[in-house]
Structure 1
């Protein structure tokens, strides 16, 4: 316990004076936390301390090392690189279009895995920072569309083979992290686990492409540094209410992290939209109805979603370039918004 006290005394000195743990120290801390060996008092204290301090690159890598060392993996379902989304926030104001993006990719032949919140654990305190209450979550929309969540990794692998898309609740593959993640409800604030989850997936590190989005601009640089250090291919950008789909009213910059460099793949929209896209109310039922209408050709696929999908079709290996990806989308969808 004296070790945790020493670590806490270094990281809990406020934003101005806190020290960063070394990568191996961060790995030791997260390993103990995952195994339930970190006393409850220290767990809460570290959670709050990192909310104030923020995690360094070395600490984030150490946390990732600890999780990876204890992780079982699954095989990718074919030659194409699967696309992985971490979906834990839900949307409160705008419609959650992540399921539409995922189904756009699967229609074009690219497998998609979404890991996210356990649906049974979604109710929360209305006063909590990043509380899930009042938000529409990806898993809820997929349920409305008749797509069941996986109960474990083996089932996730099977569903990915059969339907090309799977929703994997956190507790089904990371019970230790799910237990830590539940502190959000007890303490009412987010912390390093939320950042860590953006870079995790159940495949071998280079076997999948992570589509990672952040709310706060400083984290965009940190996330790119993380993916370059781990050599995990990723597409990084500003989130829509914390969710990893492009804002349909104005697409953000899309950065590719791959082969040791980060580069701008698609620049953000600068021009004002001539007409706002038709979007549903932020309810699981109306969003699922809208998604079905897009897939059936009765509604247009929002352009920002189509452009993000084109980038992911390229990065998965499905298409040779963006022009080819856009052509495939035009063949696959009756209507794409101008």
Structure 2
């Protein structure tokens, strides 16, 4: 009996395997991706050229080593190319990301954003609701202020033109990234996408403001914004990871203005810390806006957050001027607006 030897055809390597190898080739052999490699990797992910097992490996390798500014810039460029926004362009003054959710305090930053909008500053907010049952996410909170979330780029544009404010969930302008964020309860960890989404700036606003939870990410966001040629951007360690100044603590704001990086400390507004509320009642958002409820922590948080945004926007030259202007906005707000539902 004779046996015919069949040569086995080698299985061709998947193009994305090289990306995984760069990130995972041991302590000495691995390295970060260049900005171009990061762009290529995210482009392949967003155009479904990556197998699920490869995506999982990529996300966790990135999570263990943590993202560099170059990687984030490459990811953001690829993501921005995937948005179908050109025909719906609208001038946005301030891009505001909201992905963390609040746990210890109510989302007072929503009233900061609405305060700016009421004074003619167009604010586009984007975010996603998460899987943490103990967190309050923006898209679930806006209804308490009588505001409907947009469900398309077109509707967001209409809201921005009519009321200077709109919130749009990530799933409506980059569904693939939204899918990846939804993997968190499966993988058990956040992924680089949680960092990336804060840099997306879908309407290409000249000013962008971001909140992070881990202080180490603050300079990474700042440097990534510079690589992306973002004209004006500010990032702060926000209360709960949202873009919200905690008035009980000193707040370091790291900015980019036309390529120049700068750091600025904003002082605590109270000598002692407040006790956090035992229960979070979202209905208080409307009551505080309408002046039916007084809360010094809430008001200081709202005004203080708006002040940082106003200085970023160039509406004030100093912290004191920004704080004064935000206070004036607050005192003369239309208390009939955002009355809740």
Q: Taking structure 2 as the reference length, what is the TM-score of the superposition?
A: 0.83
**Judging changes above 3 Å, is the alpha-carbon distance between structure 1 residues 330 and 19 closer, same or farther for their aligned structure 2 residues?**
closer
- The 3-state SS of whatever aligns with 2:216 is helix
Matched, 1:37 2:49: yes
Equivalent pair of 2:218/2:254 in contact (CA under 8 Å): no
Equivalent pair of 2:108/2:301 in contact (CA under 8 Å): no
Q: Identify the match of residue 330 of structure 2 among 326, 329, 333.
A: 333
Q: After superposition, give the CA deviation of every residue in 1:143-190 in whole Å (9 maximum; x if it has no partner).
A: 221211111111101001111211100111111211222221321211
- Number of residue pairs matched? 316
Aligned-pair distance for 1:68? 1.8
Partner Cα distance (1:309, 1:270) in 2? 15
Aligned-pair distance for 1:136? 0.7
Partner Cα distance (1:208, 1:138) in 2? 23
Aligned-pair distance for 1:304? 4.0
Matched, 1:167 2:167: yes
Aligned-pair distance for 1:201? 1.3
Equivalent pair of 2:82/2:174 in contact (CA under 8 Å): no
**Judging changes above 3 Å, is the alpha-carbon distance between structure 1 residues 89 and 14 closer, same or farther for their aligned structure 2 residues?**
farther
Q: After superposition, give the CA deviation of every residue in 1:247-272 in whole Å (9 maximum; x if it has no partner).
A: 1322411222111112134x132585
Aligned-pair distance for 1:133? 2.0
Aligned-pair distance for 1:71? 2.0
Aligned counterpart, 1:127: none
Larger Rg computed on CA atoms:
2
Q: Identify the match of residue 309 of structure 2 among 307, 312, 322.
A: 312
Partner Cα distance (1:15, 1:328) in 2? 52
**Judging changes above 3 Å, is the alpha-carbon distance between structure 1 residues 288 and 99 closer, same or farther for their aligned structure 2 residues?**
farther
Equivalent pair of 1:57/1:226 in contact (CA under 8 Å): yes
For structure 2, which runs of at least 5 residues remain unmatched after alignment? 1-12, 334-341
Partner Cα distance (1:194, 1:275) in 2? 29
Aligned counterpart, 2:300: 303
Query: Could you list the runs of 4 or more consecutive aligned residues of structure 1 that deviate by over 6 angstroms after TM superposition?
Result: none
Aligned counterpart, 1:262: 261
Partner Cα distance (1:281, 1:215) in 2? 22
Equivalent pair of 2:269/2:300 in contact (CA under 8 Å): no
Partner Cα distance (1:296, 1:335) in 2? 11
Partner Cα distance (1:100, 1:195) in 2? 24
Matched, 1:292 2:287: yes
**Judging changes above 3 Å, is the alpha-carbon distance between structure 1 residues 55 and 264 closer, same or farther for their aligned structure 2 residues?**
closer
Matched, 1:142 2:135: no
**Judging changes above 3 Å, is the alpha-carbon distance between structure 1 residues 154 and 289 closer, same or farther for their aligned structure 2 residues?**
same
Q: After superposition, give the CA deviation of every residue in 1:61-116 in whole Å (9 maximum; x if it has no partner).
A: 21112112222334344xxx522221112122222222122122223321211111
Q: Taking structure 1 as the reference length, what is the TM-score of the superposition?
A: 0.84
Partner Cα distance (2:240, 2:28) in 1? 28
**Judging changes above 3 Å, is the alpha-carbon distance between structure 1 residues 321 and 217 closer, same or farther for their aligned structure 2 residues?**
closer
**Superposition CA RMSD, Å:** 2.6
